[in-house]
Amino acid sequence: MNIILRVLLAVYAFFLTIASMFAMLVTIRSDILTDTYTYLYNEVLANRNPSIVMFIIASIFFCLSLTFLLSGFKPEGDKKAIIKYNKNGDIRITLNSIENIALATSRKLSGIRDSKAYVTKVGENVIITVKAIVLPEINIPLLSEDMQIKVKSSVEDCTGVQVESVKVLIESIFTGYKSSRVE
């Protein structure tokens, strides 16, 4: 549940608490209900402006009620894991685990100085993005294609999760030293 929905739920719960306290008070002293009804009928509903405000407030609470009711039926799913079902139960493989497999595979390749892996869930499949720093004098297209093939097969073999695509971003060429640039 996002933060806006939580704030609205807190406001809704506050006003619902006031309404329930009023209902408890009415059971103790029933003349309060008669007095409240008389006040609402003579003062609020007789005038046009207060009745419009009351209608707007009632509409807001009706919409909030529908929102909270429908949010309970919305299938959230697990956004940080892929769920695989088998006859013995279900297996949850976190996206972090898939990132670590992709990272280990990409770092084993010769010509890679450093790499980072990011995994995005797309339905029951994943998209892997590998950002790498390569050593100089490496054929980048061949290395990238090799990385895509090996990362995809490694993740699919280890987890059973289908990899939709492996995107490779070569961030830099490793030079061995940091130069201070003067502009």
pLDDT tens, residue by residue, 96-131: 999 999 999 999 999 999 999 999 998 889 999 999
Over residues 83-94, the mean pLDDT reads 87
Residues 65 and 23 in one domain: yes
**Number of separate domains in the chain:** 2
pLDDT tens profile 48-81: 787 788 888 889 889 888 888 887 776 655 678 8
How far apart CA 97 and CA 77 sit, in angstroms, is 18
Query: What's residue 21's pLDDT?
Result: 92
Q: Is residue 64 part of a domain?
A: yes
128-174 residue pLDDT tens? 999 999 998 889 999 999 999 999 999 999 999 999 999 999 999 98
List the beta strands (DSSP E) in the chain: 81-86, 89-94, 112-122, 125-134, 163-173
Task: Answer yes or no: do 85 and 151 share one domain.
Answer: yes
**Which among 71, 90, 105 is the end of a domain?**
71
